[in-house]
Chains A and B, each alone.
Chain A
Amino acid sequence: MSRQSLTKAHAKISELTWEPTFATPATRFGTDYTFEKAPKKDPLKQIMRSYFPMEEEKDNRVYGAMDGAIRGNMFRQVQQRWLEWQKLFLSIIPFPEISAARAMPMAIDAVPNPEIHNGLAVQMIDEVRHSTIQMNLKKLYMNNYIDPAGFDMTEKAFANNYAGTIGRQFGEGFITGDAITAANIYLTVVAETAFTNTLFVAMPDEAAANGDYLLPTVFHSVQSDESRHISNGYSILLMALADERNRPLLERDMRYAWWNNHCVVDAAIGTFIEYGTKDRRKDRESYAEMWRRWIYDDYYRSYLLPLEKYGLTIPHDLVEEAWNRIVNKDYVHRVAQFFATGWPVNYWRIDTMTDTDFEWFEEKYPGWYSKFGAWWENYNRLAYPGNNKPIAFEDVGYNYPHRCWTCMVPCLIREDTVCEKVDGQWKTYCSETCHWTDAVAFRAEYEGRETPNMGRLTGFREWETLHHDKDLADIVEDLGYVRDDGKTLIGQPHLHLDDPKKMWTLDDVRGIQFMSPNVLLNQMSDDEREKHIAEYRLNDMSKIA
């Protein structure tokens, strides 16, 4: 269809809307934003007559590549180190995708502008596409990769795992609370516009370098839809900026959304890219370098900064602090170390690190070896059962961390840990911003203004609480992370499938008591707690190892 025809067709389609006079549509999902002065603009101009054939063609390419991968024995050259992390990633990502679909009516409800409703509804269908095409990719991995354990229980594992819950924010955050906070600022303006670059472009590049060209095939196809979604988000953002009353809420939501996306996405994708790869070419971009290009330059400098002249208060300090956490505070490395510490309660295997890996990390992150080298050498030393417990329960100078109540990634940059009594419970936060998110932003009042539509942090937010004072073997069994012989764990701290003696079983982890840091924290006296937190802030083993 020519551009002229498309413009004419779109103009005709826009005649389908009307102003209701008999009844007002139900407001199922409220917002504290106002759109009375909103300009009208549909950035998408998508019509279904061109949309369906376009997506079918994209599908044909994806499924053709999948057939080709099977015929070409792609799995003969896939790195297990890489594909194991996909058990975690692909268990998480279909839920954020389907949540994005579910978020669209919230945006439609909130924005009284029929011009944009069509584009949002098309995005809804895109998101269902993304969710199901990713589930299908995972199924292909399960069927064709050497070790299907973990893929085979994927959605159950996602729903009961500590890391799955971290990822679940990147989904529940789209569909809950203030409709604009959730469906526009958190989902579209920040998650889709900024962080899908690392999720769907940077990470698939790394997959290809590890012999897996199906992840790029599927996720680049997904990403080609994202550009349209970014236009939806931008349009609503401009509408919100047109009303001065929205400015404080926009400032609040940009701070929350930016920081939470950083905490969650950089933790996960940074770990996959840095610790899931076997490609240790020195000129291969590190995650920090990718982040600088995709997030700092492409998003922050090219997208966010120009919005300042429209009155958007940009969280410059948080952008800089996120960068600081990645390059100076070793955020990604500490997260990877934590995931590896928790291997018995994972549903994927985590490879040991070699001298080649050490050299690469030292090249990219000078000083890495002095901070993390000894710990990973201990990880290698303690990889097999028989003479030792899992590394989390051996004395390697690493204290199991407190969890951040807000982002649910543990408080790994220990010196930044905040401990406060909020809503009657002592809670720990990874940063001042995460504390602010819980104590200030997600409340029914913000800066003296009523914000009844803002969401709340709910649920059993500390995963460890559910398993406090239980035997580790019982926990693993309850979670279902056991292979079909009824005893061998799915998670293993190495990749050796060829020797049964190297595979950890329930018997190897029985007799180890698992304790919740938050439960213990709340059992302490004030003095004990103060002392404990002071020591925790100092107990940065990456500096003392």
Chain B
Amino acid sequence: MADITDQKERSFPKIEFTDSEAGALTFPSSKSRSYNYYKPAKLRATMYEDVTVDVQPDPERHLTQGWIYGFGDGPGGYPQEWTTAKSSNWHAFLDPNEEWEQSIYRNNSAVVHQVELCLKNAKRARVYDSWNGPWLKFIERNVGAWMHAENGLALHVFTSIQRSGPTNMINTAVAFNAAHKMRFAQDLALFNLDLAEADVAFEGSAHKEVWQEAPEWQPTREVVEQLTAVGDWCELLFATNIVFEQLIGSLFRTELVMQVAARNSDYITPTLVGTGENDYDRDLGYTRVLFRLLTQDEEHGAANKELFGSWLAKWVPRCQEAAHALQPIWSQAAEKPVTFATSRANATAKFVSLLEDLGLDIPKELDQ
């Protein structure tokens, strides 16, 4: 039996009722219950604005002592000179998705649950058994190669950019873009693992050789690696989300995989790739808002348009060449409901529409 006679007196803090609730007293500022150091876009500040705006200080706003650490070869902080694009007010950019920590976890957890349920059901129903050989090979090689591109963009493009933008709103939107890409790349890799472990003819490690050596994928890998070599963060974002994603990413995901999978008895891959499509739709949303701000900037809009034109002249041919090299994979599935020409025309039309929306001239290469 426990000895209850030798118990030490416990020490714990005493609760005291202090009546420190809002409204307990009236005094100057007793009703000042909104952040007053920035002007929200609408009359009432959103949660996104309250947790994001001005967290990264700026000498052009409230930062009076300037950046207190510098690089060996230049100023520290977030210099506007880290891109050649110019804005009369970088702070005007707000993420239309209004992403902050709660939304990113809620949204991506929902995606995770959707993907897991889909893959679990696929295993239970043994759906992979009914896939034809060419389609398994298509997934093994091409979806396998594509996941490298997604992962490379996550780690070496978007993760990188979010150090360099001049405002917290830009960098945070891009950080979440990186998170989307990481999750999607990994989902494709784990799908690859499921197929490799299923009782079907699927070589789980074939993707590495395809990505690094198959001729149809080398120009795409080359563009991805060229993107990672860009130092100007704004060019990197433009070249990736405006050009590469439209001419190669959407061409592969939207115009090929999403169109042909069902005809090849595959409802699993579109579910997975659809999540990546949804991510890109959101990420294109913030990208579009940012570049629209820059092209419509009263002071710098014209110069920015010229600059973006030069970026188009640099990146469109590279992406066009990479897209063209992918043509053979349109013939690899057993069922071929779309042709490369149709897919490419669709992707190009959407790209043109995006450029028109941004007020940019259409590159002549797109006519070819």
Contacts and interface: CB of A to CB of B under 8 A. Distances in A.
A108 B187 contact: no
A437 B28 CA distance: 44
A29 interface: yes
Given A53-B109, A128-B101, A152 B228 contact: no
Contacts of B102: 59, 63, 132-133, 136
B226 A8 contact: no
B159 A136 contact: no
A146 B67 contact: no
A278 to B, nearest CB: 7
A59 B105 CA distance: 8
Interface stretch (A312-320, A336-344, A417-425, A450-458): A450-458
B225 interface: yes
Contacts of B179: 48, 121, 125
B67 A459 contact: yes
B230 interface: yes
A148 B25 contact: no
Contacts of B151: 16-17
Contacts of A395: none
Interface residues of A, number: 122
A124 B178 contact: yes
Interface stretch (A70-78, A242-250, A533-541): A70-78
Contacts of B344: none
B351 to A, nearest CB: 23
Interface centre among B54, B70, B101 (most CB of A within 10 A): B101
Interface in B36-65: 36-38, 47, 50-57, 61-65
B187 to A, nearest CB: 7
A401 to B, nearest CB: 18
B190 interface: yes
A497 B71 contact: no
Given A77-B15, A102-B171, A159 B72 contact: no
B76 A26 contact: no
Contacts of A460: 64-66
Contact of B22 (A15, A105, A146): A146
Given A76-B19, A278-B16, A463 B65 contact: yes
Contacts of A456: 69-72, 76
Interface string A453-478: 11111111101001000000000000
Given A458-B76, A460-B65, A76 B108 contact: no
Interface string A149-188: 1001111111110000100110011011110000000000
A490 B147 CA distance: 54
- Sorting the interface of chain B by its residue count into under 10, 10 to 19, 20 to 34 or 35 or more gives 35 or more
B75 A458 contact: yes
A168 B77 CA distance: 11
B18 A155 contact: no
A488 B18 contact: no
Contacts of A209: 13
Nearest to B229: A23
Interface stretch (A137-145, A232-240, A286-294): A137-145
Contacts of A139: 35, 50-51
A455 B70 contact: yes
A18 B148 contact: yes
B162 A172 contact: no
Contacts of A28: 160, 163-164, 231
Nearest to A20: B225
B15 A15 contact: no
Contact of A105 (B160, B183, B185, B230): B160
A129 B109 CA distance: 15
A429 B168 CA distance: 33
Given A98-B56, A102-B162, A152-B29, A132 B15 contact: no
Interface in A282-300: 283-284
Nearest to A9: B190
B154 interface: yes
Contact of B33 (A124, A143, A177): A143
A372 B255 CA distance: 75
A142 B33 contact: yes
Given A56-B105, A128-B101, A156-B54, A49 B112 contact: yes
Interface string B141-165: 0000001100110111001101110
Interface of B: 11, 13-25, 27-38, 47, 50-57, 61-73, 75-77, 100-102, 104-106, 108-109, 111-113, 115-116, 147-148, 151-152, 154-156, 159-160, 162-164, 168, 171-172, 175-176, 178-179, 182-183, 185-187, 189-190, 192-193, 204-205, 207-208, 211-212, 221-222, 225-226, 228-231
14 contacts: A23-B225, A23-B228, A48-B187, A49-B115, A53-B112, A124-B178, A135-B51, A136-B47, A142-B34, A148-B33, A159-B64, A177-B72, A177-B76, A458-B70
The 10 closest A-B pairs by CB, nearest first: A156-B37, A483-B28, A149-B29, A209-B13, A176-B76, A159-B62, A135-B51, A176-B69, A483-B29, A459-B66
Interface of A: 8-9, 12-13, 15-18, 20-26, 28-30, 47-49, 52-53, 55-56, 59, 63, 73, 75-80, 83, 94-95, 98, 101-106, 108-109, 117-118, 120-122, 124-125, 128-133, 135-136, 139, 142-149, 152-160, 165, 168-169, 172-173, 175-178, 208-211, 278-279, 281, 283-284, 408, 444, 451-461, 463, 466, 483-485, 487-488, 490, 497-498, 500, 503
